[in-house]
Amino acid sequence: MSFQADPYKKAVDATAIFTETDLSGAITYVNDRFCALSGYSANELLGQNHRILKSGHHSSEFYTEMWQVLASQGIWNGDICNRRKDGSLYWVSSTMVALTDPVTGLMKGYAAIRFDVTERYELVGRLKTLAYCDSLTGLPNRAALQASFDEFAEYPVERHRDHALCIVDIDRFGDINEVHGHDVGDMVLRQIGLRAQAFLVDSSAKVFHWGGDEFVVLFKDWHQQEELLIWVERLMEHLAQPIPLHGGALCVTCSAGVSEFKADGTTPDLLLRYSNLALYKAKSLGPKHVVCYGKDEFLQERQNEELQRQLRQAMKSGDLQVYYQPKLDLRSGLVLGAEALLRWIHPLHGTVPPLDFLPRIENLPVALEIDQWVLEQALQFLQKNFEKSPAFCLSVNISARQFQSRDFPARLKNILDKYPKVGFQQLELEILESTAIGDFVQVNLNINAIKSMGVGVALDDFGVGYSSLAYLKKISPQTIKIDKTFILGVLVNDDDFILTQSIINLTSSFDFGVVAEGVETVEHMMLLSRLGCPVVQGYGVLPPVAQDAFLAWLHQHQAGDLGAGQWQPQWDLKHRYLLAAKRFYEHVRTLKSPELAQPAHCLEGMHALDLWAMAIGDSHYGHDREFSVLMHLHRSFVAGLDAERDPPLETISTGEFRAEQNAIGAEVYRRVQHLFERIFWMPAGGAELGMAIAV
Ligand code: C2E
Ligand code: MG
Ligand code: MG
């Protein structure tokens, strides 16, 4: 029995829209409600294929799926958009069922019961328009872009490659607002938006108002970079036409950053980021520039993403570790604290120093996670081992981005609260000078907030950055760490010496603490101590080591170990060249071939010992026979070095010559050592041995 003869027909006809079709889709029955809604008469519809009602709103995949479900399950539910005879659209909520012949059991057609839901769709449409439309420019807004992104995610991957995204930014928009007022600024935004929209109207590209003075153009079905770039450049030209204003004209230009899908797995969010990076570069080139996110940057970015993933993994697996390097008080020989330094113990590459990976992740979220993680590790270390040593202070390096963020002090406080046994004064944060320059006002606020908690702030790598006095006074850190490049050269390089001396004097006039980093030898410590630098850090005390090794070293360390506190407090600074000469001859002793020892301890071609003799040795010890012998041996050693570099020697074999050179070198060293003890060491004793750390 067909539905036409069904006793329920009356009830259905009274409430719903009803049709029947045969297996080919030809309409075999329509009720009056259907005719009323579609605008067709029954005669016009009967015998026609159902396709006559198609609106074009749904993709062919939509219909394929519908027929597949109907064939396999016998029923399909869903909303369909159809077209009336007058061309207007309407929406129906449909239930379609397959009809079977009761005698043969074979499928013979389809019946559809529908309800008009057009009003609901129109309402949703209106709401969507409101939610997706920017009220100022009338363009689709950021939410609409996100909706396009969501749609995009449903496309097959092959089609992703044809997409590209461009961010357009108005050059010096702030100036327009400032000079002409916000009304003119708004007008410019509307104009630029309209022009972009008009320019792209015949293309598959769509323009969105991203916010502020930025617009996003989403390109679909673009294939070649050149074609795209030509388009974007033409768009920039179009946007740069003068805008009429008060009888005159306003010249406004835009810059753009473009990026394209290059490989599977690129998401729209990444595309947005790449375009942003390209825009950033375009802006740095001046107004009206277009930059396309290049292949190399793309690759680099992918590698950095991978690095980010590996680092997150390394934090979990224990491959990322915090090493500790002591800070030593030169006056007392006590260990005042340590600096926490990150190490990546890579399963393939061994120990990777932080500067090999931190700069690459600087702008990625993992940088903040690492900072946070290091802080937690450092605080755990303090809580576990130094609860009873409240003066032991651990320094932790904080990345610029972290330190510049507004909520950093609050986040720090939250972390600190988790370690109640750690005194706030036991923590010091190290920031680079460049960090403060980045966002001076915020950094200043943060420094004050952190200092008022009792946590210390040190300015790291001082001397290599801007080092402006006015700025130093304003940010007023508690401590300054002199960069290691100056300290490494302080014994032999007069510039480094003068700079180091000036920084130390400066810190004492400003009443800042000062730490010298990169202190590799006792001789460096002696000179720094003489210059008035109280605290040092460096391989000469201990290289950064893992937690257990640090604690073991600390356990064994004695206050007088490195001689701190046992040196003469005042010696003529000209003697510093003798410290360098001692380093040279000590170094020579460790070499098989002395000629390898050149020329680290020379200043402008002069050997440190000659410099010392000239600066002070001659006048102080010129009358002394010991001094004459020393200088004679030294000259003979240096001449030997030259001869070694100028072979061949006929009278003496290389082996014999080297043995003689070694003997002379050892003798010079012994004599320099003797002088060294006379000049720099106190006659007896010095600091008390025993206690190793500050409490
Ligand atoms: P920095 O804070 O100035 O750290 C001092 C650097 O000097 C460390 O390098 C240390 O190993 C090295 N050093 C110490 N003594 C000597 C010495 O006597 N001679 C020489 N030539 N070098 C010495 P490292 O560990 O490679 O760290 C490099 C930089 O990486 C640090 O410079 C710091 O800016 C950054 N860094 C290290 N750990 C972290 C961290 O946990 N977070 C952040 N944000 N940055 C870190
Ligand atoms: Mg540091
Ligand atoms: Mg440093």
What was the pLDDT predicted at 156?
66
How far is ligand 3, taken at its centre, from the CA of residue 507, in Å?
16
Question: CB under 8 Å to 565, separation ≥6 — which residues?
Answer: 330, 331, 332, 333, 559, 686, 687
What was the pLDDT predicted at 481?
95
How far is ligand 2, taken at its centre, from the CA of residue 380, in Å?
19
Highest mean pLDDT among 19-23, 246-250, 299-303, 550-554: 550-554
Name the nearest CA neighbour of 314 among 361, 380, 267, 381.
361
> Percent of the chain at pLDDT above 70?
90
**Alpha-carbon radius of gyration of the chain:** 40
For ligand 1, atom 17: residue with the closest CA: 518
Enumerate the β-bridge partners of residue 256. 168, 290
Position in ligand 1 atom list of the atom nearest CA 483: 3
Please spell the DSSP secondary structure of 15-52, one letter per residue.
Answer: HSEEEEEETTSBEEEE-HHHHHHH---HHHHTTSBGGG
For ligand 1, atom 34: residue with the closest CA: 397
Whether 394 shows a pLDDT value over 70: the answer reads: yes
Beta strands at 335-346 and 243-245: parallel, antiparallel or unpaired? unpaired
Whether 540 shows a pLDDT value over 60: the answer reads: yes
What was the pLDDT predicted at 690?
43
Whether 552 shows a pLDDT value over 80: the answer reads: yes
What was the pLDDT predicted at 1?
47
For ligand 1, atom 14: residue with the closest CA: 538
Average pLDDT over residues 208-235: 84
Q: Is the pTM of this model over 0.75?
A: no
Confirm or reject: Cβ of 38 under 6 Å from ligand 1.
Answer: no
How far is Cα 476 from Cα 458, in angstroms, rounded to an integer?
9
Q: Chain-centre distance of CA 599, in angstroms?
A: 40
Confirm or reject: Cβ of 140 under 6 Å from ligand 1.
Answer: no
Best probe residue, ligand 1, of 323, 341, 345, 412 (max atoms within 8 Å of C-beta)? 341
Choice between 510 and 453, residue whose per-residue pLDDT is larger: 453
> Torsion angle of alpha carbons 572, 573, 575, 578, nearest 10°?
160
Please spell the DSSP secondary structure of 435-489, one letter per residue.
Answer: HHHHTHHHHHHHHHHHHHHT-EEEEEEETSS---HHHHHHH--SEEEE-HHHHHH
**Residue 103 backbone zone (phi > 0: left; psi -120 to 50: alpha; other: beta):** alpha
Position in ligand 1 atom list of the atom nearest CA 481: 3
Q: How open is the CA angle 129-130-131, to the nearest 5 degrees?
A: 95
For ligand 1, atom 43: residue with the closest CA: 397
Considering the domain delimited by 3-116, tell me its CATH architecture: 2-Layer Sandwich (3.30)
What was the pLDDT predicted at 2?
52
Choice between 271 and 77, residue whose per-residue pLDDT is larger: 77
How far is ligand 1, taken at its centre, from the CA of residue 341, in Å?
6
Considering the domain delimited by 126-295, tell me its CATH architecture: 2-Layer Sandwich (3.30)
For ligand 1, atom 33: residue with the closest CA: 397
> What residues sit around ligand 2, an ion, with C-beta below 5 angstroms?
397, 430, 460
Confirm or reject: Cβ of 483 under 6 Å from ligand 1.
Answer: no
How far is ligand 2, taken at its centre, from the CA of residue 187, in Å?
50
How far is ligand 1, taken at its centre, from the CA of residue 325, in Å?
9
> Which ligand is in closest contact with the Cα of 488?
1
What was the pLDDT predicted at 695?
52
How far is ligand 3, taken at its centre, from the CA of residue 216, in Å?
42
Q: Chain-centre distance of CA 234, in angstroms?
A: 34
How far is ligand 1, taken at its centre, from the CA of residue 400, in Å?
15
> Torsion angle of alpha carbons 41, 43, 48, 52, nearest 10°?
-10
Whether 535 shows a pLDDT value over 70: the answer reads: yes
pLDDT of 441-466, one tens digit each?
888 899 999 999 999 999 999 988 77
In the Cβ-directed half-sphere of 427, how many Cα atoms lie within 13 Å?
Answer: 31
Q: Where are the domains of the chain?
A: 3-116, 126-295, 317-556, 573-680
Q: How open is the CA angle 451-455-461, to the nearest 5 degrees?
A: 85
Q: How confident is the model at residue 150 (pLDDT cuts 50, 70, 90)?
A: confident
In the Cβ-directed half-sphere of 629, how many Cα atoms lie within 13 Å?
Answer: 11
Best probe residue, ligand 1, of 328, 355, 369, 397 (max atoms within 8 Å of C-beta)? 397
CA-to-CA separations, 184 to 175, 192, 195, 249, in angstroms, rounded: 11, 12, 16, 12
Whether 197 shows a pLDDT value over 70: the answer reads: yes
- Residue 162 — φ and ψ, nearest 5°? -85, 5
Write down the residue that tokens 């000062």 correspond to: 514
CA-to-CA separations, 151 to 80, 156, 262, in angstroms, rounded: 19, 11, 19
For ligand 1, atom 45: residue with the closest CA: 397
- Residue 16 — φ and ψ, nearest 5°? -125, 170
How far is Cα 253 from Cα 460, in angstroms, rounded to an integer?
41
Whether 62 shows a pLDDT value over 80: the answer reads: yes
Q: How confident is the model at residue 88 (pLDDT cuts 50, 70, 90)?
A: very high
Beta strands at 350-352 and 320-329: parallel, antiparallel or unpaired? unpaired
What was the pLDDT predicted at 688?
42
What was the pLDDT predicted at 125?
80
Average pLDDT over residues 373-400: 96
Whether 689 shows a pLDDT value over 50: the answer reads: no
How far is ligand 2, taken at its centre, from the CA of residue 398, in Å?
8
Enumerate the β-bridge partners of residue 322. 342
Is residue 194 packed enough to be buried (19+ CB in 10 Å), middle (13-18) or exposed (0-12)?
A: middle
Average pLDDT over residues 131-153: 88
Q: Domain 317-556 adopts which CATH fold?
A: TIM Barrel (3.20.20)
How far is ligand 1, taken at its centre, from the CA of residue 5, in Å?
90
Best probe residue, ligand 1, of 320, 517, 562 (max atoms within 8 Å of C-beta)? 517
For residue 175, the one-letter residue type is D
Confirm or reject: Cβ of 33 under 6 Å from ligand 1.
Answer: no
Name the nearest CA neighbour of 330 among 87, 481, 529, 192.
529
> Which ligand is in closest contact with the Cα of 461?
3
Best probe residue, ligand 1, of 484, 523, 535 (max atoms within 8 Å of C-beta)? 484
pLDDT of 563-572, one tens digit each?
888 888 899 9
For ligand 1, atom 13: residue with the closest CA: 518
Confirm or reject: Cβ of 433 under 6 Å from ligand 1.
Answer: no
How far is ligand 3, taken at its centre, from the CA of residue 321, in Å?
19
Write down the residue that tokens 């130093």 correspond to: 472
> Percent of the chain at pLDDT above 90?
55
Confirm or reject: Cβ of 345 under 6 Å from ligand 1.
Answer: no
How far is ligand 2, taken at its centre, from the CA of residue 691, in Å?
26
Preceding omega of 326 cis (within 30 degrees of 0)? no
What was the pLDDT predicted at 686?
43
Confirm or reject: Cβ of 401 under 6 Å from ligand 1.
Answer: no
How far is ligand 3, taken at its centre, from the CA of residue 463, in Å?
10
Confirm or reject: Cβ of 213 under 6 Å from ligand 1.
Answer: no
Write down the residue that tokens 């050892």 correspond to: 666
Mean pLDDT of the chain: 87
Average pLDDT over residues 164-178: 92
Strand order in the sheet with 206-211: 206-211, 214-219, 164-170, 254-260, 290-292
What was the pLDDT predicted at 298?
64
Confirm or reject: Cβ of 463 under 6 Å from ligand 1.
Answer: no
For ligand 1, atom 3: residue with the closest CA: 461
Q: How confident is the model at residue 352 (pLDDT cuts 50, 70, 90)?
A: very high
